Amino acid sequence: MAEVVLDPIPFLNGGGSIGDPAVWNARWVHAGGDAVHHTALVRAVRDASGHLTSLRGVLRNPSGDQAETQAALRASEERLRRALEAAQNGIMLVDRDGSLIFVNRALRRLLGYGREVPMHLNEVAAPERLDQLTGLVASRAWADVGGGLFETGLRHRDGSTIEAEIALAALREEDGTVVLIEVHDLTESRRASDAIRQMADYDRLTGLPSRDLFDRHVQRAILDARQTQACVAVILLDLDRFKLVNDTLGHASGDRLLKAVAERLHQYLPSPHIVARFGGDEFLVLAPQLPVPAAAEGVARRVLQALSEPFPHEGRLLKVAASAGVALFPQHAEDPEALIRIADGAIHLAKDDGGDCFRLGTGIDSASARDRLSLEADLREAVTQHAFEVYYQPQVDPMSNELCGMEALLRWRHPGRGSVPPSDFIPLLEETGLIVPVGEWVLEQSCQQMQTWITDGFRPVRMAVNLSPRQLMVPDLGRVVRGILDHTGLSPELLELELTETTASLTMDAVIEVLHELHAIGITTAIDDFGIGHSWLSRLRQFPVQTLKVDRSFISGIDQSPGDRAIVEAVVALGHVLGLTVVAEGVETERHIDLVRELGCDLAQGYYYSPAVSALAMADMMRLGTTYSQAA
Ligand code: C2E
Ligand code: MG
Ligand code: MG
């Protein structure tokens, strides 16, 4: 049974009159265009003054040509059914008690039904959502407030839950109220929004939490720590030589290394620590619930330890040291941003101290960052103002005390700070790329100086010049070095290039080729600071090496530590087996020189003989000839 409301005007205009109530047998035209015959019981509706305002009728059973009417009805229903069946969205018709009158193909497919059709709402509702759904269908309160859109869960036939959005509409039918439920599968859009959230919260390359998510973890940790009177540490970590990997081995390689670093950190710092990527080669570590501030140092040490083992990388072993800055809640700051800023300030202190170490924040934001910026500006000025000077440190045969060579060491006369040691500015020169022109200048200056001394009648000795890995990456290094020799007239045999550990771990074939090319014209190569890394051992044969310089740290321990002594002994043995000259660096005392002699080092360099001195002082020393036996 359905109620209809009619406009009386056309009827009255047609000459009709209305009894009250009246039974009509009429042909009705559906909005959809289908005609049906119905008997209608019609009542006139009048206003207070008795004027007819509308006709209200209740359609009864079809009458008249019943067969025709019913056929038309069936055809109409069939068309409707087909339309619903073919709809892209899932559709079901549910009656008041939850029976499913109709479930279309899209919905059957979504819920995993083939030929069989679910019969009741409790088959298609996720168990925890059944009450919600039956409630919606039964109460229809939503229809009165106009909104029929809900999120719910439906049950797939395999038992899984499908997140869905449903739109409900009440249909009035003669035998009660039927609710039409249109189902929109949210799985895809959920997946998309989850993916977006994942992108915002996690770093794509390493899969580690992003800065945003890290901040939220820190906030949470601070809240917890306030209650338990604990400390929270935020550690910022910067890989010391990552840029070099990127520059020499390429970005894809750099990416792989970052992933390996991320995995290593994750492995060394399991939950409740959080490891996040800050961007580039910087990582963040959160250590929550520390009982005492000093515990942060243990975590920082673990971080550095995690990175101290070399990384197997494309058939070689890469050493990746890091600098770390540590900031503490509540000692330094009380929010994630300030903690990270303070950790960042501390990291620069660690870098200034040579890297591969950590420093605690001071609570004074970015003072050292400012310091560093001004240092960098000063450095750029120093290049144009010629504020650099080359000093020379003698290399002496410990048996005869004869001068056999010297090392050129850069000095910077800073207008306000005086002489700044290379450890403070060489890393900055390297980072800014200024090491390339400055290094070239050192090379030119020292070759020129040696040639001048020779012209002045001094006995020719070998000049050792440090080359940073960055300089080795300059494609025309071979041409530059040959140009300087041509230009200064220095014989190639008198030039030695000192390479560091980093060079061994990163160098590409092209660099090895250049060194061989330079070796072919007589230039020699020394390995500086030998013994502190592992990289050279496996690569010595690939390089045209003639000299090993035993790192200062072993010489300084040689008189106390049997381990250091054994290392020096082993390096000397290795060097001599390979036909190399072994130089002991950092010889400071009589005892050192005795042991160096005893262990068979070919040359010694250090304060025992002389620190690095200006060219003038060096000339004086050479003139006097025998004064190397005293520390200056
Ligand atoms: P290095 O090449 O290993 O140079 C030896 C360093 O040890 C020098 O420090 C030298 O002054 C110091 N030293 C020498 N004898 C002793 C000693 O008996 N005791 C102690 N405690 N130290 C001693 P310096 O001049 O501060 O240079 C530090 C580093 O800076 C050098 O280490 C080198 O790697 C780098 N460097 C210096 N000049 C240049 C340059 O022109 N180019 C490049 N690329 N690097 C340079
Ligand atoms: Mg050196
Ligand atoms: Mg050295």
Instruction: State the average pLDDT for the chain.
Output: 83
Element (H, E) at 91: strand 90-95
**Spatial distance between the Cα atoms of 348 and 332, rounded to a whole number of angstroms:** 16
Residue nearest to atom 30 of ligand 1 (CA): 422
Q: What's the 409 CA to ligand 1 centre distance in angstroms?
A: 6
**Spatial distance between the Cα atoms of 564 and 340, rounded to a whole number of angstroms:** 39
Q: 18-22, 63-67, 79-83, 517-521 — which is least confidently predicted?
A: 18-22
How far is CA 222 from each of CA 229, 234, 235, 286, 369, rounded to the nearest angstrom? 10, 11, 15, 11, 26
Q: What's the 627 CA to ligand 2 centre distance in angstroms?
A: 23
Query: Are 548 and 575 contacting, i.e. CB atoms less than 8 angstroms apart?
Result: yes
Q: What percent of the chain is modeled with pLDDT above 90?
A: 39
**Spatial distance between the Cα atoms of 495 and 446, rounded to a whole number of angstroms:** 9
**Residues forming beta bridges with residue 90, ordered by sequence position:** 183
CA torsion sign, 550 to 556 to 559 to 565? Answer: negative
Strands of 129-266, DSSP E: 149-155, 161-173, 176-185, 231-239
Q: Given pLDDT bands bounded at 50, 70 and 90, which one contains residue 66?
A: low
The token pair at 90 is 């899932």
Provide the edge-to-edge strand list for the sheet that holds 231-239: 274-279, 282-290, 231-239, 322-329, 358-360
26: burial class by Cβ within 10 Å (0-12, 13-18, 19+)?
middle
Return the SS3 of 174: coil
Rounded average pLDDT over 578-606: 95
> What is the length of the chain?
632
Query: Residue 628: how many CB atoms within 10 A of its CB?
Result: 21
Q: Which amino acid is at 601?
A: C
Rounded average pLDDT over 89-98: 87
**Spatial distance between the Cα atoms of 386 and 384, rounded to a whole number of angstroms:** 6
Residue nearest to atom 21 of ligand 1 (CA): 586
Report which bound ligand comes closest to the CA of 434: 1
**Which residues approach ligand 1 with their CB closer than 6 A?**
393, 409-410, 421-423, 426, 435, 439, 442, 466-468, 498, 528-529, 552, 585-588, 605-607, 611-612
DSSP 327-356: EEETTT-SSHHHHHHHHHHHHHHHHHTTSS
Query: Are 124 and 104 contacting, i.e. CB atoms less than 8 angstroms apart?
Result: no
DSSP 184: E
Return the SS3 of 113: coil
Question: Regarding predicted confidence, which is higher, 148 or 7?
Answer: 148
Residue nearest to atom 24 of ligand 1 (CA): 422
Encode 445-459: b = buried (16+ Cβ within 10 Å), e = exposed. Answer: bbbbbbbebbeeebe
Q: What is the pLDDT of residue 14?
A: 43
> Rounded to 5 degrees, what angle do the CA atoms 495, 496, 502 make?
145
**What contacts 483, CB < 8 A, 6 or more positions away?**
none
Residue 435 Cα: closest atom of ligand 1: 44
Q: What is the pLDDT of residue 392?
A: 96
> How does pLDDT run across 448-483, given as a tens digit for each residue?
999 999 999 999 999 999 998 888 888 889 999 999
**What is the C-alpha radius of gyration for the chain, rounded to an integer number of angstroms?**
43
Q: Is residue 291 reached through a cis peptide bond, with omega within 30 degrees of 0 on the bond before it?
A: no
Return the SS3 of 230: coil
Question: Regarding predicted confidence, which is higher, 446 or 421?
Answer: 446
Q: What's the 360 CA to ligand 2 centre distance in angstroms?
A: 30
Tokens 């990291």 sit at which residue?
347
**Spatial distance between the Cα atoms of 95 and 593, rounded to a whole number of angstroms:** 101
Q: Given pLDDT bands bounded at 50, 70 and 90, which one contains residue 354?
A: confident
Q: Given pLDDT bands bounded at 50, 70 and 90, which one contains residue 123?
A: very high
Do the bridges between strand 388-397 and strand 231-239 make them parallel or antiparallel, or are there none, so unpaired? Answer: unpaired
DSSP 377-400: HHHHHHHHHT-EEEEEEEEEETTT
Report which bound ligand comes closest to the CA of 589: 1
Where does residue 15 fall: left (phi above 0), alpha (psi -120 to 50 degrees), or beta otherwise?
left
| pLDDT value at 431 more than 60 | yes
Name the nearest CA neighbour of 101 among 93, 113, 109. Answer: 93
pTM over 0.75: no
Residue 442 Cα: closest atom of ligand 1: 41
| pLDDT value at 351 more than 90 | no
Residue of 406, 409, 463 to mutate, ligand 1, most atoms within 8 A of C-beta: 409
Q: What's the 408 CA to ligand 2 centre distance in angstroms?
A: 8
Q: What's the 544 CA to ligand 1 centre distance in angstroms?
A: 23
Return the SS3 of 537: helix
**Residues forming beta bridges with residue 43, ordered by sequence position:** 56
Residue 471 Cα: closest atom of ligand 1: 44
Query: Are 431 and 415 contacting, i.e. CB atoms less than 8 angstroms apart?
Result: no
Do the bridges between strand 274-279 and strand 282-290 make them parallel or antiparallel, or are there none, so unpaired? Answer: antiparallel
**What contacts 503, CB < 8 A, 6 or more positions away?**
467, 469, 472, 511
Q: Which amino acid is at 211?
A: R
Report which bound ligand comes closest to the CA of 605: 1
| pLDDT value at 600 more than 70 | yes
> How does pLDDT run across 531-573, given as a tens digit for each residue?
765 556 667 777 889 999 998 988 988 988 887 888 888 888 8
Residue nearest to atom 25 of ligand 1 (CA): 409
Q: What's the 578 CA to ligand 2 centre distance in angstroms?
A: 21
> How does pLDDT run across 158-197, given as a tens digit for each residue?
999 998 888 888 876 665 678 889 898 887 767 766 666 6
Report which bound ligand comes closest to the CA of 549: 3
Do the bridges between strand 52-59 and strand 418-420 make them parallel or antiparallel, or are there none, so unpaired? Answer: unpaired
Q: What's the 626 CA to ligand 2 centre distance in angstroms?
A: 24
Report which bound ligand comes closest to the CA of 531: 3
Q: Given pLDDT bands bounded at 50, 70 and 90, which one contains residue 5?
A: low
| pLDDT value at 283 more than 60 | yes
Which range, 235-244, 270-279, 485-494, is most confident? Answer: 485-494
Q: What's the 444 CA to ligand 3 centre distance in angstroms?
A: 21
Residue nearest to atom 19 of ligand 1 (CA): 586
Tokens 């304060």 sit at which residue?
607
Query: Are 621 and 601 contacting, i.e. CB atoms less than 8 angstroms apart?
Result: no
Q: What's the 466 CA to ligand 2 centre distance in angstroms?
A: 5
Task: For residue 62, report the phi and psi dihedrals to the nearest 5 degrees.
Answer: -55, 145
91: burial class by Cβ within 10 Å (0-12, 13-18, 19+)?
buried
Residue nearest to atom 27 of ligand 1 (CA): 422
Report which bound ligand comes closest to the CA of 612: 1
Residue 549 Cα: closest atom of ligand 1: 3
Query: Are 407 and 605 contacting, i.e. CB atoms less than 8 angstroms apart?
Result: yes
Return the SS3 of 362: coil
Angle between helices 509-520 and 477-488 in degrees, nearest 10: 20
> How does pLDDT run across 367-406, given as a tens digit for each residue?
455 566 677 788 888 888 888 999 999 999 999 999 999 9
Q: What is the pLDDT of residue 355?
A: 85
Q: What's the 375 CA to ligand 2 centre distance in angstroms?
A: 23
Residue 587 Cα: closest atom of ligand 1: 18
Q: 115-129, 161-175, 245-259 — which is least confidently predicted?
A: 161-175
Do the bridges between strand 161-173 and strand 149-155 make them parallel or antiparallel, or are there none, so unpaired? Answer: antiparallel
Residue of 430, 443, 466 to mutate, ligand 1, most atoms within 8 A of C-beta: 466
Q: 19-23, 193-197, 588-592, 602-606 — which is least confidently predicted?
A: 19-23
Question: Regarding predicted confidence, which is higher, 279 or 219?
Answer: 219
Residue nearest to atom 15 of ligand 1 (CA): 606
**Spatial distance between the Cα atoms of 288 and 291, rounded to a whole number of angstroms:** 9
Q: How far is C-alpha 108 from the chain's CA centre?
A: 44
Q: What's the 407 CA to ligand 1 centre distance in angstroms?
A: 9
